[in-house]
Amino acid sequence: MRLVRPVTLTALVGFGTSAQAQSCWENLTCTGPLDAAFPGEWSTNIFAPSSRTVAPTSILSLANTSVISAWPGSAHIAGNGSALVFDFGKEVGGLATITYTAQGSGALGLAFSEANNYIGLWSDSSNGKFAPGGGDGAIYDNFTTAGNHTYTMDKAHLRGGFRYLTLFLITNETSSTIDINTISLEIGFQPTWSNLQAYQGYFHSSDDDLNKIWYSGAYTLQTNAVPVDTGRWVPTLAVGWANNGSLSNGTTVIVDGAKRDRAVWPGDMGVAVPATFVSIGDLDSVANALQTMYDHQNHDGSFPEAGPPLLQQSSDTYHMWSMIGTYNYVLYTNDTVFLTKNWDRYLHAMEFIYAKVHQPSGLLNVTGIRDWARWQQGFNNSEANMILYHTLQTGADLASWHGDTTGLADTYRSRAVNLSAAINQYCWDAPFGAFKDNATNTSLHPQDANSMAVYFGVVPASSSLSSRGQSISSRLLENWTPIGAETPELPNNISPFISSFEIQAHLTIGQTDRALDLIRRTWGWYLHNPNGTGSTVIEGYLTNGSFGYRNSRGYSYDDSYVSHAHGWSAGPTSALTNYIVGLSVTGRLGSTWTLKPQFGDLEHAQAGFVTSLGKFSAGWNITNGGRSYSLWWNVPAGTIGNVTLPTLPSGKTGKVSIDGKSFKNKSVSKTNGLTFEVGGGNHSIVVVSK
């Protein structure tokens, strides 16, 4: 086993008392929290293991993947090419150590797979090369003597994400056998946390599937927080794999996927960062990922599309996602040191992208045309314009947070207003009732731009454009299949990344049932898919239910290349907290917040998260068959929030009491909720039918 340093006393003092005497990855100092911020019955939904060292739970047959026996148990492999499959029961990743007793000579082979249907003597693909003949293959421990052997994977062969480990024997001797004695996997993700279950946020509701979906997003984000020296090596190997690329400074960094690409992709962080904040709360990994983008900013002000060692370039949309990521990070942390350090570079980035806005249209003309995998990008692409709108809005907040006195916030806000007008003028398809893919007469009405238009407020609910939002929400339904929304800008594909924006679009305008339906179809389908990991969220899949994301349009990847633990698909995790429980931060650190529940078909829901101001939590509970409900919140004193009481499910007028006393002259009408401003603390409200 690896030599490790125990957690430091500082970490113990800083984070609580029930310290487990566990250590972190390699010799890293443990800086993660030691205890969950909100212990409770929901913790049974946490997929993360209780220890940084884990073992498989069962043995499967290679022939048909049915369970042979539990593990630990007996595991005898005899003859060339024979194998046993070890199932960890969920996504894991790291370095395995295997002890075994051999007869004769030969090699112990190890092959890995995230999905059940790519189990075999050849690993699923993490390098994009075709198998067989190229691709990941297997790794071997060659033995020449009978007796006991111990094999530990070398660090470069760290396998970032898998559920199944196939152990097999390659030998020239008919009498050679292997008996597996022990298998232990040192978890390689979230390297600075000794307790992988020390979540800083939680969610719980009356719908167990939604609960598991929330926790599968959270666990995915944990598997995407990786040691900074375990990025995928570039150029990718033709055969085999190497995860020894340098990703960023610091110790831990958020990448796009556990198995691959194992690189910083800021577009993914548009979903992954809000979801991280409400669940595990690991913003150190986010800071290092963003810093790496600033450290590799180009001379023209553009950011790379992906961090090192890949350093993919030329994506205007991902450039803007780095800027939006900066906003989200500072919103959640108020890390003014980070903001000050990078402010000039942020301004340079803003100049770079805004210079692509041309008159007379006033629309952004995209020239860095790489993007999330949509089929077409460039010119006045609507999605890019929606992202620019959000970049300008968030830039205005950043400017005031930075203490800018040169009027930048006003400049950015008026640019956003002008851009919104231009988008609504040139990109809106009035007869159809949704945005086109760009300002030309195209019949493509994309899922990404339309979802973002509503979510980012290019068609605000509280304006004369509100009917556009409702029309978009209805039109989006036409893309739906029984297993998720087909994305028109990448036909035959379902993108849980873009669907993460779609669910938040429906929720933004109160289409709760649509959002919950789409979550259940998409993420529910994957969670229950017997070929999936049962514990994470997948990068994408095809409308025919196979995992060959993007393969229908000329990409030459092996179907097994898809990542089954991709943080960009974790949208339900933040959506359920921010919109269903309804608790979200609006000012830095939650100094201001909103609580605006949406009941949908649920009976109760609650959630919480932490900032340096303290713990924030809230919940609600429908009672008396919808004739009343209770709502509570417990947030730091000194903060201030807007609470919106929804209408009663019974459709009746409701009278309101707060902290046990009648809320004078306040009621919830049959059609309209009630919004009011409140201070922090621990409060509860009951609304009862009149």
Ligand X SMILES: *[C@@H]1O[C@H](CO)[C@@H](O)[C@H](O)[C@H]1NC(C)=O
- From residue 104, alpha-carbon distances to 142, 147, 151, 167 in Å are 11, 9, 17, 17
18 vs 73, beta carbon nearer ligand X: 73
Residue with tokens 């600033």: 294
- Contact region for ligand X (CB under 6 A) — 192-200, 311-319, 440-448, 559-567? 440-448
- Contact region for ligand X (CB under 6 A) — 37-45, 169-177, 209-217, 564-572? 169-177
> According to CB under 6 A, which residues from 380 to 439 bind ligand X?
437-438
- Nearest distance, CB of residue 247 and ligand X, angstroms: 6
Q: Which amino acid is present at 357?
A: V
Tell me if 82 contacts ligand X by CB under 6 A. Answer: no
Tell me if 481 contacts ligand X by CB under 6 A. Answer: no
Q: Are 589 and 614 in contact (CB under 8 A)?
A: no
105 vs 313, beta carbon nearer ligand X: 105
Tell me if 295 contacts ligand X by CB under 6 A. Answer: yes
402 vs 652, beta carbon nearer ligand X: 402
Tell me if 621 contacts ligand X by CB under 6 A. Answer: yes
- Nearest distance, CB of residue 376 and ligand X, angstroms: 4
- Nearest distance, CB of residue 17 and ligand X, angstroms: 27
Tell me if 171 contacts ligand X by CB under 6 A. Answer: yes
Tell me if 678 contacts ligand X by CB under 6 A. Answer: no
Q: What angle do CA 167, 171, 175 make, to 5 degrees?
A: 105
Pick from 125, 220, 333, 334: which binds ligand X (CB under 6 A)? 334
Tell me if 61 contacts ligand X by CB under 6 A. Answer: yes
- Contact region for ligand X (CB under 6 A) — 449-457, 501-509, 636-644, 660-668? 636-644
Tell me if 172 contacts ligand X by CB under 6 A. Answer: yes
- Contact region for ligand X (CB under 6 A) — 191-199, 274-282, 506-514, 523-531? 523-531
Tell me if 66 contacts ligand X by CB under 6 A. Answer: yes
CA distance 655 to 668: 6
Sign of the torsion formed by the C-alpha atoms of 524, 530, 536 and 542: negative
198 vs 668, beta carbon nearer ligand X: 668
Tell me if 531 contacts ligand X by CB under 6 A. Answer: yes
51 vs 684, beta carbon nearer ligand X: 684
Q: Write the interaction track for ligand X spanning residues 355-374; mark x where CB under 6 A is met and - where it is not.
A: ---x------xxx-x-----
Q: How far is CA 98 from the centre of its chain?
A: 32
- Provide DSSP, 547-592: S-TTGGGT----GGGS-SSBGGG-HHHHHIIIIII-EEE-SGGGSE
- Contact region for ligand X (CB under 6 A) — 85-93, 165-173, 213-221, 534-542? 165-173
Burial environment of residue 13 by CB neighbours within 10 A (0 to 12, 13 to 18, 19 or more): exposed
- Contact region for ligand X (CB under 6 A) — 170-178, 346-354, 425-433, 559-567? 170-178
Q: Which residues pair with 545 in a beta bridge?
A: none
Q: Are 495 and 425 in contact (CB under 8 A)?
A: no
- Contact region for ligand X (CB under 6 A) — 87-95, 168-176, 422-430, 660-668? 168-176
CA distance 322 to 306: 10
Tell me if 376 contacts ligand X by CB under 6 A. Answer: yes
Pick from 521, 588, 596, 652: which binds ligand X (CB under 6 A)? 588
Q: Where are the alpha helices (DSSP H) in 249-315?
A: 266-278, 283-295
Q: Which amino acid is present at 199?
A: Y
List phi, psi (to 5°) of 605: -160, 150
Pick from 33, 94, 540, 641: which binds ligand X (CB under 6 A)? 641
Tell me if 298 contacts ligand X by CB under 6 A. Answer: no
Tell how many helices (H) and how many strands (E) occur in the chain: 14, 29
Burial environment of residue 286 by CB neighbours within 10 A (0 to 12, 13 to 18, 19 or more): buried
H/E run at residue 455: helix 447-455
The SS3 call for residue 353 is helix
Q: How far is CA 70 from the centre of its chain?
A: 32
Of the candidates 540, 562, 531, the one whose C-alpha atom is nearest the C-alpha of residue 483 is 540
- Nearest distance, CB of residue 171 and ligand X, angstroms: 5
Of the candidates 330, 317, 336, 333, the one whose C-alpha atom is nearest the C-alpha of residue 385 is 317
Tell me if 313 contacts ligand X by CB under 6 A. Answer: no
Tell me if 140 contacts ligand X by CB under 6 A. Answer: yes
List phi, psi (to 5°) of 446: -70, 155
Burial environment of residue 117 by CB neighbours within 10 A (0 to 12, 13 to 18, 19 or more): middle
- Contact region for ligand X (CB under 6 A) — 276-284, 475-483, 589-597, 648-656? 589-597
Q: Are 541 and 495 in contact (CB under 8 A)?
A: no
Residues found near ligand X in the complex (CB under 6 A): 3, 26-27, 61, 63-64, 66, 101, 105-107, 117, 140, 142, 148, 170-172, 181, 246, 248-249, 292, 295, 308, 334, 336, 358, 365-367, 369, 376, 378-379, 437-438, 440, 442, 444, 529-531, 545, 586, 588-589, 591-592, 604, 621, 623, 630, 640-642, 677
